[in-house]
């Protein structure tokens, strides 16, 4: 009797264990798969793609928004004649007949094959009207740029990540990608046995969220104006490239930023990768004479010199270490005053200033002006070349007139703007406001980065810069009746350990009106061929733009000067 009891017990025990194991397998190990299969039986799971946030200019007009577009796909099993289908689609999709035909022939065993994406609504309608069997469409949103390539390098572009999802690269699209992209969601559309939709609560819980929108400080008319004038300038002076940025020195708001050559963000893949980066924040160069006012103002700020102090070493080239430092035109002015050192852009005078300042004060000043460090502008791709660790006397001397030291254009514009803002250096920024999909706004406030100068020193230097514009080398291009502070720059380009004597980076930096600046602007003309000097190339572009900006702001001339 006992063995029968044990066999029965073992039988039921093993059966119970087997059932438990199977239940564990289905309910724990395969739970997710079964759940998915169950959902598939009673409904469709749909991935909800968020709409990318818009990027709008200060006047709320979008510079980058989204538009309806379609992915065109085919079911090769339903296509009767592949070649005639390819011929019909070719003109509407602007694709070769051979390309479409090759896609279809290579996938005859499949039920779904993508032909092309980004097809405009009008073309989709045309194709739909042709009633071609086996051709279908998937709706989506793609980036649309109403102002075409305006501010392309500032905006960046939208490509794809490793999973094929939209991802922003470079500029604003790159820097604010997490804000702009939103969040993907999934929803289940529940259906009954007849395939009819059933009212379901699950639809409300997709988790999808559209991206946040950015409102820029960019003033669209100014951006448009700057791009037109810069293009004209590059063409007129036969230059290789050019850059301009306009900034409000009191807030750090970037009002316009343009560079050419540029690219079209709609067809970014057709352009060379090197054009994607924004040279105004990514390229470094030796700023040349545009640096002089910063060093001179520091000497005033330290009470070491005044505008009327004279230079005792400026009657001939100055010897520093084994080098002779000349003026740009080999003209020398014995006992030249400091204000005329700036007016004549006298290198020997600046060497004297650097000697009076000394290495420590000069380096401290450069740091306070933000030279050698990134400004923190809200754009992807900003670069900076740190200041050298050890300084020789020749390095101190050349840094005073902007050679042997590298800056990005944004670094220089930001530093120079402190002269127009009572000595305070602001953090440059492009976005003024972030708006969430539910309408909440996050404002970005102006931020003071440092105060390299006292208001008094900034004012003194402003007067010298107005004097320089009115009486200096670029005075022929100045706007009569306006007090504009500015300085030319003609920087040599270092090539293989020496400076190229035939090519320069010509620039002009300044602000207006000098007494209550509305804008600060840096114009860079790279390798001009009609003249190598900033006074003859960048300065006319600067004043041409300034004239229109002053009119735009409704600022009247203050008298005929």
Partner 1 sequence: MTSLMIGLILILSLVRISVSTMLTTGGISLSEVNTQIQSYQRENAILREEIYSLASLTSLSEKAEKDGFVESKTAALVISSGSNTVALGQ
- Give the bridge partners for 150, in sequence order: none
Q: Does 266 bind partner 1 (CB under 8 A)?
A: no
Minimum CB–partner distance for residue 506 and partner 1 (Å): 23
| H-helix segments, 308-374 | 338-343, 347-368
Nearer to partner 1 by Cβ, of 9 and 148: the residue is 148
Q: Are 223 and 258 in contact (CB under 8 A)?
A: yes
CB atoms within 10 A of CB 142: 18
Q: 122 vs 273, which CB is nearer to partner 1?
A: 122
* In the complex, least distance from residue 69 CB atom to partner 1, rounded to whole angstroms: 10
Site map for partner 1, 175-214, x if CB under 8 A?
---------------x-x---xxxxx--------------
Closest to partner 1 by CB, 140 or 367? 140
Helix, strand, coil shares of the chain, percent, nearest 5, are: 40, 25, 35
**64 interacts with partner 1 by CB under 8 A:** no
Q: What is the Cα–Cα distance from 502 to 412, expressed in whole angstroms?
A: 24
Residues 496-555 that bind partner 1 (CB under 8 A): 547-548, 551, 554
Residue 557 binds partner 1 (CB under 8 A)? yes
Among positions 106-165, residues that touch partner 1 (CB under 8 A) are 121, 139, 141, 144, 146-148, 150
Does the footprint of partner 1 cover residue 67 (CB under 8 A)? yes
Q: Which of 181, 212, 220, 518 binds partner 1 (CB under 8 A)?
A: 220
In the block, tokens 């039920």 appear at 111
Compute the distance between CA of residue 504 and CA of residue 261 in angstroms, rounded to an integer: 18
Distance CA 533, CA 507 (A): 8
DSSP 151-210: THHHH-EEEE-TTS-EEEESHHHHHTHHHHH-B-EEEEEEB-TTS-B---GGGG----BP
Our CB check for partner 1 shows the closer of 70 and 401 to be: 70
Alpha-helix residue ranges (DSSP H) falling in 198-291: 220-236, 279-282
What's the longest Cα–Cα distance across the chain? Answer: 129
> Which region, judged by CB under 8 A, interacts with partner 1, from 60-68, 96-104, 246-254, 325-333?
60-68
61 belongs to the binding site for partner 1 (CB under 8 A): yes
Give the interface segment with partner 1, choosing from 9-17, 61-69, 297-305, 427-435 (CB under 8 A).
Answer: 61-69
Strands (E), 366-405: none
**Residues in 427-486 that interact with partner 1 by CB under 8 A:** 479-481
Task: Tell which residue, 508, 511, 510, has the closest CA to residue 525.
Answer: 508
Residues 6+ apart with CB under 8 A from 529: 237, 238, 239
In the complex, the smallest distance separating the C-beta of residue 257 from partner 1, rounded to whole angstroms, is 16
d(CA 137, CA 116): 10
Binding mask 221-260 for partner 1 (x = CB under 8 A): x--x------------------------------------
The verdict on 102 binding partner 1 (CB under 8 A) reads no
Nearer Cβ to partner 1 (271/552) = 552
Residues binding partner 1 (CB under 8 A): 61-62, 65-68, 121, 139, 141, 144, 146-148, 150, 190, 192, 196-200, 220-221, 224, 479-481, 547-548, 551, 554, 556-557
């Amino acid at each position: 009797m006992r063995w029968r009891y044990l066999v029965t017990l073992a039988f039921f025990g093993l059966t119970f264990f087997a059932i438990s194991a199977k239940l564990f397998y289905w309910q724990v190990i395969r739970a997710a798969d079964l759940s998915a299969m169950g959902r598939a039986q009673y409904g469709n799971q749909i991935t909800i793609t968020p709409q990318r946030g818009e990027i709008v200019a200060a006047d709320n007009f979008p510079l980058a928004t989204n538009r309806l577009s379609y992915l065109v796909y085919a079911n090769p099993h339903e296509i009767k004649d592949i070649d005639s289908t390819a011929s019909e689609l070719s003109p509407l999709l602007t694709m070769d007949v051979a390309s479409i035909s090759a896609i279809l022939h290579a996938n005859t065993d499949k039920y779904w094959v993508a032909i092309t994406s980004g097809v405009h609504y009008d073309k989709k309608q045309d194709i739909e009207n042709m009633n071609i069997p086996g051709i279908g469409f998937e709706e989506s949103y793609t980036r649309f740029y109403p102002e075409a390539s305006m501010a392309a390098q500032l905006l960046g572009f939208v490509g794809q990540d490793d999973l094929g999802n939209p991802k922003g690269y470079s500029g604003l699209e790159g820097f604010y990608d997490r804000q702009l992209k939103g969040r993907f969601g999934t929803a289940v559309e529940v259906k009954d046995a007849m395939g009819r939709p059933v009212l379901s609560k699950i639809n409300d819980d997709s988790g999808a969220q559209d991206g946040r929108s950015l409102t820029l400080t960019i003033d669209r008319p100014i951006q448009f104006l700057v791009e037109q004038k810069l293009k004209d300038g590059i063409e007129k002076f036969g230059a290789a490239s050019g850059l301009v940025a306009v900034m409000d020195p009191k807030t750090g708001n970037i009002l316009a930023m343009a560079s050419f050559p540029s690219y079209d963000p709609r067809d970014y893949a057709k352009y060379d990768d090197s054009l994607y980066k924004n040279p105004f924040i990514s390229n470094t160069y030796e700023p040349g004479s545009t640096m002089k006012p910063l060093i001179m103002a520091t000497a005033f700020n330290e009470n070491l010199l005044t505008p009327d102090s004279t230079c005792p070493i400026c009657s001939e080239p100055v010897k520093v270490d084994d080098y002779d430092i000349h003026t740009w035109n080999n003209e020398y002015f014995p006992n030249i005053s400091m204000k005329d050192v700036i007016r004549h852009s006298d290198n020997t005078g600046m060497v004297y200033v650097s000697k009076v300042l000394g290495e420590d004060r000069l380096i401290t000043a450069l740091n306070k002006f933000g030279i050698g460090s990134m400004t923190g502008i809200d754009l992807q791709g900003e670069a900076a070349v740190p200041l050298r660790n050890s300084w020789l006397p020749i390095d101190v001397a050349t840094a005073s007139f902007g050679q042997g030291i590298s800056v990005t254009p944004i670094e220089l514009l930001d530093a120079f703007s402190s002269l127009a803002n009572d000595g305070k250096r602001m953090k440059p920024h492009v976005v003024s406001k972030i708006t969430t999909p539910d309408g909440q706004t996050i404002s970005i406030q102006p931020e003071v980065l440092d105060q390299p100068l006292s208001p008094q020193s900034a004012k003194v230097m402003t007067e010298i810069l107005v004097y320089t514009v009115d009486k200096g080398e670029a005075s022929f291009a100045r706007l009569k009746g306006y007090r504009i502070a500015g300085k030319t720059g003609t920087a040599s380009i270092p090539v293989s350990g020496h400076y190229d004597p035939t090519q320069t980076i010509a620039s002009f930096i300044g602000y207006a009106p000098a007494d209550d600046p509305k804008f600060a602007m840096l114009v860079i003309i790279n390798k001009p061929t009609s003249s190598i000097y900033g006074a003859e190339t960048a300065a006319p572009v600067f004043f041409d733009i300034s004239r229109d900006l002053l009119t735009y702001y409704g600022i009247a001339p203050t008298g005929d000067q």
